[in-house]
Amino acid sequence: MDKKKQVIETITAEIAKMQKKQIVNELAKEVFASMRHRKFNKAVETAFKKAHPEYTVYYGKDSGSVKLLIWGNGIKYDDQVSYTLYHHGEKTDAEIWEHMDYDLQRNDLSDCIARHEAELQLLPALFEAEQQIEAIQKRIEAGAPAPSGHCLRQKNKQYSYEMQKLFPAVFA
């Protein structure tokens, strides 16, 4: 597979993965909004499962945290969406829901999705610039003095440090 196609497929796959996670985050916002008047407990897991049975939901509590993990419907377990409250001592329900609002913001991937989509539009210019740099490097190599002495130098190492410092993109 050529490099252009591979880069495009990689970025497109990353966008698709983030879009799936963004959908989960939007669904979680809806469920959390309907539950704000209640304690944050296993009922949140039950409410999400009932509203969206196509996802797997895990609610867990240990000595230092409460977690809600969501995956399934195209989201792998390793890419799960997680909402975690780390607490030391008792937190009021208002404090817990405030922290969950923070996690909803943290899991909001809309900016990342927009950035990746914009980067896709830059790819033709980046590929063209890369080709131009490669052509320039070949012209420089063709006119470069041959290494002298008994040691053969690595590619681009026959140029002085000053040249490499002045033109890092060309001698990268």
**pLDDT tens-digit readout, 133-148:** 888 888 887 876 655 5
Percent of the chain with pLDDT over 70: 83
Query: What digits encode the pLDDT tens for the residues 45-84?
Result: 999 999 999 999 999 988 778 889 999 999 999 999 999 8
Three-class DSSP category at 101: helix
pTM: 0.74
Gyration radius of the chain's alpha carbons: 26
Dig out the tokens for 26 from the structure. 């939007």
Task: Using CA atoms of 156, 161, 165, 166 in order, give the dihedral in degrees to the nearest 10.
Answer: -90
Task: Using CA atoms of 4, 5, 6, 7 in order, give the dihedral in degrees to the nearest 10.
Answer: 50
